[in-house]
Amino acid sequence: MATVTFEPGGTTVDVHEGENLLRAAIAADVQITASCGGDGTCGKCRMLVEHGSVESRPSSRLTDEDAEKGYVLACLSAVRGDVRVTVPAESRPSHAPAPGSGNRRVPNALLSAEEHVARVPHDPSEPPVTARVLSLTAPDLANNCSDLARVRHALRREYGINDAAISLETLRALPDVARAKGWTVTAIMAEPGDATPAICGLRPGDTSDRQFAIAVDVGTTTIEAALIDLFASETMGQSAEYSDQIALGEDVITRVIAGSTAEGLEDLRRRAVTTIGRITERLCAEHGVSHDEITSYVAAGNTVMTHLLLGISPANIRTAPYVPVAATFPWTNAVESGLPGGPGTQLVTLPCPASWLGGDIVAGVLAAGIPWSDKLTLFVDIGTNGEIVLGSKDWLAACSCSAGPAFEGRGITHGMRAAEGAVELVRVDTETLEPMLLTIGSAKPLGICGSGLVDCISELFLCGALNRDGTFQRHDGSRIRERERGAEYVLVWAEESGTGSDIVINETDIENLMRAKAAIHAGIDVLLETVDVEPDAIEEVVVAGGFGHYLDIERVMTLGMLPELPAERFQFIGNGSLFGARLAAKSRGLLARAQRVADMMTYVELSVNASFMDMYVSSLFLPHTDLHRFPRTEALYSQRATIRTVG
């Protein structure tokens, strides 16, 4: 770790070595002007390095004389050890002093895949789908048993696998495959660990040296997939797209309705498969992997998405008593489903404990390490649905509420997925309302993703620009303006955006986000009430969701989405569903553990809960009707109010 000290004021922040200096300033609540998203083009984020060193990329926005004096652009500079910098007057959006926030820490960053994997005990040498090379004995008149008997004998002799089942399709292919490469074959085996192994496909020769899996988070709004090298136990890359299903409806209920006819169901199934296939093709092309080398897809999705992916009708999920067709699903042939792969490639889905609690949450709970934890843990997955789980290794209670797609950047005027160019961190100057922002990839801003939206709205609230009901209060600066559809805040001017247009947040966007956060907060309150636990008793909070690389938990608490607890109790794991799917793709033990997690979850149905609606309405304010439940936000708001008055 390295300590960055910002002068004047002496505010410090601890960051990882190599951290971007602008991100460090954002974390320290040190206001500087930075309006190009960290692209290095606005030239406004100048800082003078007084002591220590930073590694800076050259910029045409600095003269040779500037560089000689020690000026750098914060967005193009990486921290190398402890450093002291001065923020010159021209880089500050106002002359009001920065809040004296003392020592702060960086917003909660995503753990790396390796850090995650290390947290969860598993054996990566035993994936649920394997490629087993078999040296078959060639038949002769003295040894003329069947081809299948030779395969079974080799499985027993070489791997200790008895009585493996085989499909008729695979049996039909067997004679040609066995003879194609001198009686050496590779069997694609389904080995769930708790059931008899099955031969899913046969390939000529020894192809066992390269085995890959595709882990998939089948989200309602976004589908994200990762390519995993099963030999190296490494994630080679991951990629995401909005789901093709969106064309048939934004939310889960609309999809259920659309999937209630045979044609609609097949259309939705095909769209999910097409999106996954497209992402897979891209990942394979980027990493030199052929389709034949994929042995499995392991997919985690909510219950409706899982039904749709498998072509199972979700119709009865929508009406009382809300019954799914199944909670666990048979493995199926991925290629026959329309996915890229080779003979025997399997499509495996994680179990869905209830109609509104799916494999994505089971995967997230697995990735968060809760099945091994003694601590009372609150797990919150924030997506189109907000799913909440409370418990430990001994018990789990869960509920689900509709949050809408706002956190994934849809239904927001300039919202976008957490991809390059998305504004992901925002600070707003209390006096001038000038924003300081950073985008994913430090590219020119194209839009705003979930974490940027959370940051921006909580900052506008703390600056006094928003009333507690989410409407704009201050209209005296150029950044807030009236438009036909209501007031809006200009986050990025057209000349600094990558789209050539202003990037704004309006009252409808804020209302959408407030509804979403209120639903999640009310869901948490209901769970706490159900198990009779006070918020303070929660020892760990794990937040999952496709927000971006960073999520500032303090801003999330300021919004009133999560209970106010010490920041060190929070972790942000990003896409928990995808992490869990990755782990299950690598380890049959973890796949079996996912089933046990699903079995032990007690589901609390919010639609019949007497308290939920009251709790929801109370949460439709910033941060909540009862401000005393958010003492830190109350104090911060008063502190900023003092600055507003002085300014």
Nearer Cβ to ligand FES (57/483): 57
The answer to whether 40 contacts ligand FES (rule: CB under 6 A) is yes
| Residues 134, 203 contacting (CB under 8 angstroms) | no
CA 572 to CA 547: how far, in whole Å? 10
Residue range at the interface with ligand FES (CB under 6 A); choices 30-38, 193-201, 365-373, 596-604: 30-38
Residue range at the interface with ligand FES (CB under 6 A); choices 42-50, 93-101, 289-297, 417-425: 42-50
| Residues 616, 518 contacting (CB under 8 angstroms) | yes
Nearer Cβ to ligand FES (91/558): 91
Looking at residue 193, what DSSP letter applies? S
CA 342 to CA 608: how far, in whole Å? 47
345 backbone dihedrals φ, ψ, rounded to 5°: -55, 130
User: Which tokens hold the place of 54?
Assistant: 């930073």
Q: What is the nearest approach in angstroms of ligand FES to the Cβ of residue 495?
A: 12
Nearer Cβ to ligand FES (438/510): 438
Nearer Cβ to ligand FES (33/235): 33
The reply to whether omega before 321 is within 30° of 0 (cis) is yes
110 backbone dihedrals φ, ψ, rounded to 5°: -65, 140
Q: What is the nearest approach in angstroms of ligand FES to the Cβ of residue 199?
A: 58
Nearer Cβ to ligand FES (4/268): 4
CA 520 to CA 567: how far, in whole Å? 19
For 623, how many CA atoms within 13 A lie in the half-sphere containing its CB? 27
Q: What is the nearest approach in angstroms of ligand FES to the Cβ of residue 76?
A: 7
- The single-letter code of the amino acid at 217 is D
For the chain, the straight-line distance linking the first and the last C-alpha, in angstroms and rounded, comes to 35
Looking at residue 419, what DSSP letter applies? S
Binding mask 58-87 for ligand FES (x = CB under 6 A): ---------------x-x------------
Q: Which of 4, 12, 44, 226 binds ligand FES (CB under 6 A)?
A: 44
User: Contacts with ligand FES in 139-168 (CB under 6 A)?
Assistant: none
Residue range at the interface with ligand FES (CB under 6 A); choices 35-43, 221-229, 334-342, 630-638: 35-43
Nearer Cβ to ligand FES (498/580): 498
User: Which tokens hold the place of 394?
Assistant: 């001994």
The answer to whether 42 contacts ligand FES (rule: CB under 6 A) is yes
| Residues 490, 502 contacting (CB under 8 angstroms) | yes
The answer to whether 45 contacts ligand FES (rule: CB under 6 A) is yes
Q: At what angle do helices 359-367 and 303-310 cross, to 10 degrees?
A: 120
| Residues 413, 505 contacting (CB under 8 angstroms) | yes
Nearer Cβ to ligand FES (46/150): 46
Q: Which of 26, 34, 382, 487 binds ligand FES (CB under 6 A)?
A: 34
Please state the separation of Cα 502 from the chain's center in Å: 27
The answer to whether 383 contacts ligand FES (rule: CB under 6 A) is no
Q: What is the nearest approach in angstroms of ligand FES to the Cβ of residue 42?
A: 3
Q: Mark residue 70 as left, alpha or beta (left: phi above 0; alpha: psi -120 to 50; beta: remaining).
A: left
Residue range at the interface with ligand FES (CB under 6 A); choices 37-45, 189-197, 320-328, 565-573: 37-45
Q: What is the nearest approach in angstroms of ligand FES to the Cβ of residue 2?
A: 20
Q: Which of 9, 43, 70, 249 binds ligand FES (CB under 6 A)?
A: 43
Contacts to ligand FES by CB under 6 A = 34, 36, 38, 40-45, 73, 75
